[in-house]
Structure 1
Amino acid sequence: MTNPRPPRWLKPMNRLMMAVQKLGIPTGPAYVLTVPGRKSGKPRRTPMTPFEYHGGLYTVAGYPGADWARNARAAGAGTLSRGSRSREVAIVELGAEEAKPVLRAFPGSVPVGVAFAKRSGLVQHGTPDEFEALAGTLAVFRFDELPH
């Protein structure tokens, strides 16, 4: 596997999704995560598709070294928004062993993420085994709701 880079269309597509979300229109299962930038401290927004697994809410980085994942890791907390609703969350990164069962569940929960991983060359077929093998390569985070 090569070290995939984000496709050129990703940033414009992310901007479009965030604009639609800002209007209060949910975009399917997508949410927007806002965290402070690790260097600038300015809010950084990233659309993503978290999914439920064993009562928790998880997300998987689309490629190794994703900038949003580095910001989320550094911040440890952020705001998860969908349409006009938002909530404060703690952002907990899973270790490789802890991430394996979440990665196995990913293909059945986030078809758009599977298609992205195939186009990026991370996986060939999108099977649970292929995703589990990415433990330690792709960042996996759990979102824990913070009290108001």
Structure 2
Amino acid sequence: MSDDPRRHIRAPQQIKHLNDDLLARRDRGELPFELPVLTVPGRRSGTPRHTPLTVYATGGKRFVVGGFPGADWIVNVRAAGGRATLSTGPDADPEPVVLVEVPPEQARPVLEAWPQVTPEGVGIMVENGVVAEPTPEALGALTGICPVFRIDPAR
């Protein structure tokens, strides 16, 4: 699996534009929902990078999926040792967190749940060749390709 070319799929430009639009609308208070935003220093510049993410809460734990395994936010999180902040609104205090990449046996159930958690996000993964179909089985097969991170409070 380590040679799977899907490991290097980066977020398409449309996602970057969508994220910029979401962040701007969030900052203006125009969103009818809370938008979790991960902030992590850029691996080269050190400049804070803001990425809207879908957070999945289950069993008292929170998770995020790297739907585009070559995405900058994933590389930045790894370079930062998992240290980041998570905020849900423009006026919310950022929560210091540590993103811990989980082993395959913990990643698979999160990936299998992902089509229910974010059908739109999975649709974009299908459109961009990360996965062939938006089913729990297809997403579960991405174990070891798409990273899954548990969000822990920073200590």
Q: TM-score, normalised by structure 1?
A: 0.87
Map 1:1-148 → 2, pairs under 5 A: 3=6, 4-26=9-31, 28=33, 30-75=35-80, 76-83=82-89, 84-85=91-92, 86-146=94-154
Matched residue SS, 2:49: strand
Query: What's the % identity of the aligned pairs?
Result: 41
1:26, distance to aligned residue in structure 2 (A): 4.6
- Counterpart amino acid of residue 40 in structure 1: S
Q: Secondary structure at the match of 1:35?
A: strand
Q: 1:91 to 1:63 in 2, by over 3 A?
A: same
5+ residue gaps, structure 1: none
Instruction: Indicate if the aligned counterparts of 1:5 and 1:120 stay in contact, CA closer than 8 A.
Output: no
Q: CA deviation at 1:96?
A: 2.5
Query: Which has the larger share of strand?
Result: 1
Q: Is 1:29–1:49's contact at 8 Å kept on the other side of the alignment?
A: no
Measure the CA separation in 2 of the matches of 1:99 and 1:26: 30
2:108, 2:125 → 1: CA distance? 16
Instruction: State whether residues 55 and 63 of structure 2, in contact with CA within 8 Å, keep that contact through their aligned partners in structure 1.
Output: yes
**Structure 2 unpaired stretches of 5+:** none
Structure 2 residue matching 1:33: 3-state secondary structure: strand
